[in-house]
A and B are shown apart, each in its own frame.
Chain A
Amino acid sequence: GENVEQHPSTLSVQEGDSAVIKCTYSDSASNYFPWYKQELGKRPQLIIDIRSNVGEKKDQRIAVTLNKTAKHFSLHITETQPEDSAVYFCAASTRNQFYFGTGTSLTVIP
Protein backbone atom coordinates (compact mmCIF):
# COMPACT_ATOMS: atom_id res chain seq x y z
CA GLY A 1 0.00 0.00 0.00
CA GLU A 2 0.85 3.67 0.10
CA ASN A 3 3.55 4.94 2.45
CA VAL A 4 3.65 8.63 3.28
CA GLU A 5 6.59 10.16 5.11
CA GLN A 6 6.52 13.64 6.57
CA HIS A 7 9.29 15.90 7.84
CA PRO A 8 10.03 17.53 10.15
CA SER A 9 8.08 16.11 13.05
CA THR A 10 8.39 19.37 14.96
CA LEU A 11 9.01 22.88 13.71
CA SER A 12 9.38 26.16 15.55
CA VAL A 13 9.47 29.48 13.74
CA GLN A 14 9.36 33.11 14.73
CA GLU A 15 6.19 34.98 13.97
CA GLY A 16 6.39 36.41 10.47
CA ASP A 17 8.84 33.81 9.20
CA SER A 18 7.97 31.06 6.74
CA ALA A 19 7.40 27.40 7.51
CA VAL A 20 7.92 24.52 5.13
CA ILE A 21 6.75 20.95 5.64
CA LYS A 22 7.68 18.19 3.24
CA CYS A 23 6.10 14.84 2.41
CA THR A 24 7.03 11.95 0.18
CA TYR A 25 4.84 9.15 -1.05
CA SER A 26 5.48 5.78 -2.60
CA ASP A 27 2.51 4.89 -4.78
CA SER A 28 2.68 6.51 -8.21
CA ALA A 29 -1.08 5.96 -8.52
CA SER A 30 -1.75 8.56 -5.83
CA ASN A 31 -3.37 11.53 -7.47
CA TYR A 32 -4.76 13.74 -4.74
CA PHE A 33 -2.76 15.37 -1.96
CA PRO A 34 -4.59 17.29 0.76
CA TRP A 35 -3.13 19.04 3.78
CA TYR A 36 -4.95 19.13 7.09
CA LYS A 37 -4.50 21.26 10.18
CA GLN A 38 -5.44 19.72 13.50
CA GLU A 39 -5.63 21.62 16.74
CA LEU A 40 -5.41 19.72 19.99
CA GLY A 41 -8.43 17.50 20.57
CA LYS A 42 -10.19 18.69 17.45
CA ARG A 43 -10.95 17.32 14.03
CA PRO A 44 -8.55 17.74 11.11
CA GLN A 45 -9.48 20.68 8.93
CA LEU A 46 -8.64 20.79 5.24
CA ILE A 47 -6.48 23.82 4.51
CA ILE A 48 -5.36 23.22 0.95
CA ASP A 49 -5.15 20.41 -1.57
CA ILE A 50 -3.54 19.69 -4.90
CA ARG A 51 -4.18 17.22 -7.65
CA SER A 52 -1.59 15.37 -9.66
CA ASN A 53 -2.19 17.41 -12.80
CA VAL A 54 -1.13 20.60 -11.04
CA GLY A 55 2.35 21.54 -9.86
CA GLU A 56 1.56 24.37 -7.50
CA LYS A 57 -1.42 25.93 -5.77
CA LYS A 58 -1.65 28.98 -3.58
CA ASP A 59 -4.28 30.32 -1.23
CA GLN A 60 -3.29 33.55 0.51
CA ARG A 61 -0.45 32.67 2.90
CA ILE A 62 -0.55 28.97 2.14
CA ALA A 63 0.90 27.22 -0.89
CA VAL A 64 1.50 23.63 -1.88
CA THR A 65 3.90 22.29 -4.48
CA LEU A 66 3.94 18.85 -6.04
CA ASN A 67 6.73 17.02 -7.83
CA LYS A 68 5.23 13.87 -9.31
CA THR A 69 8.49 12.60 -10.69
CA ALA A 70 10.19 12.70 -7.32
CA LYS A 71 6.97 11.79 -5.50
CA HIS A 72 7.13 14.60 -3.03
CA PHE A 73 4.98 17.56 -2.11
CA SER A 74 5.40 20.43 0.27
CA LEU A 75 3.35 22.89 2.29
CA HIS A 76 4.57 26.47 2.54
CA ILE A 77 3.16 28.92 5.06
CA THR A 78 4.37 32.50 4.77
CA GLU A 79 4.10 35.31 7.31
CA THR A 80 3.31 32.85 10.06
CA GLN A 81 1.07 33.88 12.92
CA PRO A 82 0.61 32.37 16.40
CA GLU A 83 -2.76 30.96 15.35
CA ASP A 84 -0.95 28.85 12.75
CA SER A 85 0.39 26.76 15.64
CA ALA A 86 -1.07 23.26 15.27
CA VAL A 87 -0.27 19.83 13.93
CA TYR A 88 -0.25 19.59 10.16
CA PHE A 89 -0.82 16.37 8.27
CA CYS A 90 -0.20 15.65 4.65
CA ALA A 91 -2.03 12.83 2.91
CA ALA A 92 -1.86 10.96 -0.34
CA SER A 93 -4.96 9.50 -1.87
CA THR A 94 -4.96 6.34 -3.88
CA ARG A 95 -7.98 4.18 -4.72
CA ASN A 96 -10.09 6.77 -2.90
CA GLN A 97 -8.40 6.15 0.44
CA PHE A 98 -6.30 8.58 2.38
CA TYR A 99 -2.96 7.69 3.85
CA PHE A 100 -1.70 10.28 6.25
CA GLY A 101 1.81 11.40 7.01
CA THR A 102 3.08 11.27 10.56
CA GLY A 103 2.33 14.92 11.26
CA THR A 104 4.32 18.06 11.96
CA SER A 105 3.82 20.00 15.15
CA LEU A 106 4.27 23.65 14.21
CA THR A 107 4.87 26.27 16.88
CA VAL A 108 4.89 29.92 15.93
CA ILE A 109 6.71 31.97 18.55
CA PRO A 110 5.30 35.48 19.03
Chain B
Amino acid sequence: GAVVSQHPSWVICKSGTSVKIECRSLDFQATTMFWYRQFPKQSLMLMATSNEGSKATYEQGVEKDKFLINHASLTLSTLTVTSAHPEDSSFYICSARDGPTQETQYFGPGTRLLVL
Protein backbone atom coordinates (compact mmCIF):
# COMPACT_ATOMS: atom_id res chain seq x y z
CA GLY B 1 0.00 0.00 0.00
CA ALA B 2 0.90 3.67 -0.13
CA VAL B 3 3.61 4.73 2.31
CA VAL B 4 4.04 8.16 3.80
CA SER B 5 7.07 9.12 5.86
CA GLN B 6 7.72 12.06 8.12
CA HIS B 7 10.93 13.56 9.41
CA PRO B 8 11.87 14.18 12.11
CA SER B 9 9.81 11.90 14.30
CA TRP B 10 10.67 13.82 17.44
CA VAL B 11 12.06 17.29 17.95
CA ILE B 12 12.78 19.46 20.96
CA CYS B 13 13.59 23.11 20.43
CA LYS B 14 13.91 26.37 22.29
CA SER B 15 11.17 28.95 22.22
CA GLY B 16 11.62 31.36 19.31
CA THR B 17 13.25 28.94 16.91
CA SER B 18 11.72 27.59 13.73
CA VAL B 19 11.16 23.93 13.06
CA LYS B 20 10.69 22.28 9.68
CA ILE B 21 8.83 19.00 9.32
CA GLU B 22 8.99 17.00 6.10
CA CYS B 23 6.28 14.74 4.73
CA ARG B 24 7.12 12.41 1.87
CA SER B 25 5.11 10.00 -0.19
CA LEU B 26 7.52 7.15 -0.83
CA ASP B 27 5.90 5.04 -3.51
CA PHE B 28 3.35 7.31 -5.11
CA GLN B 29 2.87 10.86 -6.25
CA ALA B 30 0.72 13.00 -4.02
CA THR B 31 -0.82 16.04 -5.61
CA THR B 32 -2.52 16.82 -2.32
CA MET B 33 -1.20 16.45 1.19
CA PHE B 34 -2.86 17.37 4.45
CA TRP B 35 -1.42 18.58 7.72
CA TYR B 36 -3.05 17.77 11.04
CA ARG B 37 -2.35 18.64 14.61
CA GLN B 38 -3.24 16.36 17.50
CA PHE B 39 -3.14 17.20 21.20
CA PRO B 40 -2.97 14.39 23.76
CA LYS B 41 -6.16 12.38 23.95
CA GLN B 42 -7.80 14.55 21.33
CA SER B 43 -8.82 14.19 17.74
CA LEU B 44 -6.91 15.17 14.64
CA MET B 45 -7.47 18.77 13.68
CA LEU B 46 -7.00 19.63 10.04
CA MET B 47 -4.64 22.58 9.74
CA ALA B 48 -4.22 22.96 6.02
CA THR B 49 -4.46 21.33 2.64
CA SER B 50 -1.29 21.43 0.59
CA ASN B 51 -1.47 21.28 -3.19
CA GLU B 52 1.62 20.74 -5.29
CA GLY B 53 2.72 23.90 -7.00
CA SER B 54 0.20 26.20 -5.36
CA LYS B 55 -0.46 27.89 -2.08
CA ALA B 56 -1.82 25.88 0.80
CA THR B 57 -5.39 26.29 1.95
CA TYR B 58 -5.57 26.91 5.67
CA GLU B 59 -8.42 26.06 7.97
CA GLN B 60 -10.09 28.80 9.90
CA GLY B 61 -8.12 29.82 12.93
CA VAL B 62 -4.78 28.50 11.65
CA GLU B 63 -2.19 31.24 11.17
CA LYS B 64 -0.61 30.87 7.76
CA ASP B 65 2.36 33.02 8.75
CA LYS B 66 2.94 30.83 11.77
CA PHE B 67 2.64 27.52 9.98
CA LEU B 68 4.33 27.80 6.60
CA ILE B 69 3.53 25.03 4.16
CA ASN B 70 5.41 24.31 0.99
CA HIS B 71 4.56 21.58 -1.51
CA ALA B 72 7.30 21.92 -4.08
CA SER B 73 7.13 18.45 -5.56
CA LEU B 74 4.70 15.60 -5.96
CA THR B 75 6.39 13.65 -3.19
CA LEU B 76 7.30 16.29 -0.62
CA SER B 77 5.44 18.77 1.52
CA THR B 78 7.00 20.69 4.38
CA LEU B 79 5.50 22.38 7.41
CA THR B 80 7.58 25.03 9.12
CA VAL B 81 6.53 26.17 12.56
CA THR B 82 7.99 29.65 12.76
CA SER B 83 9.07 31.23 16.04
CA ALA B 84 7.79 28.25 17.96
CA HIS B 85 6.40 28.71 21.45
CA PRO B 86 5.47 26.16 24.13
CA GLU B 87 1.82 26.26 23.06
CA ASP B 88 2.89 24.94 19.66
CA SER B 89 4.01 21.71 21.30
CA SER B 90 1.91 18.98 19.76
CA PHE B 91 1.84 15.93 17.54
CA TYR B 92 1.86 16.93 13.87
CA ILE B 93 0.72 14.37 11.31
CA CYS B 94 0.62 14.63 7.55
CA SER B 95 -1.38 12.56 5.15
CA ALA B 96 -1.54 12.12 1.41
CA ARG B 97 -3.86 10.74 -1.21
CA ASP B 98 -2.43 8.53 -3.91
CA GLY B 99 -4.29 10.28 -6.68
CA PRO B 100 -6.43 13.36 -7.30
CA THR B 101 -9.61 11.32 -7.42
CA GLN B 102 -8.71 8.91 -4.66
CA GLU B 103 -10.43 9.36 -1.34
CA THR B 104 -8.31 7.27 0.97
CA GLN B 105 -5.71 9.19 2.93
CA TYR B 106 -2.52 7.55 4.12
CA PHE B 107 -0.95 9.00 7.21
CA GLY B 108 2.64 9.63 8.08
CA PRO B 109 3.96 8.41 11.44
CA GLY B 110 3.75 11.87 12.94
CA THR B 111 6.22 14.33 14.43
CA ARG B 112 6.18 15.07 18.09
CA LEU B 113 7.24 18.68 18.76
CA LEU B 114 8.22 19.93 22.19
CA VAL B 115 9.01 23.61 22.55
CA LEU B 116 10.79 24.56 25.75
Contacts and interface: CB of A to CB of B under 8 A. Distances in A.
Interface string B45-79: 11001000000000010000000000000000000
B43 A89 contact: yes
B78 to A, nearest CB: 18
Contact of A100 (B43, B60, B109): B43
Interface string B9-39: 0000000000000000000000010100000
Contacts of B44: 44, 89, 100
A61 B12 CA distance: 41
B93 interface: yes
Contacts of B34: 97-98
B90 interface: no
Interface in A51-110: 51, 89, 93, 96-103, 105
Chain B at the A interface: SS class: strand
A30 B27 CA distance: 28
Given A32-B103, A93-B103, A98 B46 contact: yes
B104 interface: yes
Contacts of A98: 34, 46, 95, 105
Nearest to B101: A96
A46 interface: yes
B42 A49 contact: no
B107 A43 contact: yes
Contacts of A93: 103
Given A43-B107, A43-B110, A98-B105, A103 B42 contact: yes
Contacts of B110: 41-43
B7 to A, nearest CB: 14
A46 B104 contact: yes
Contacts of A103: 41-43
Interface in B77-116: 93, 95, 97, 103-110, 112
Contacts of A102: 42-43
A51 B103 CA distance: 10
Contacts of B105: 34, 46, 98
A41 B9 CA distance: 11
- Leading 3 A-B pairs by shortest Cβ distance: A43-B107, A32-B103, A100-B44
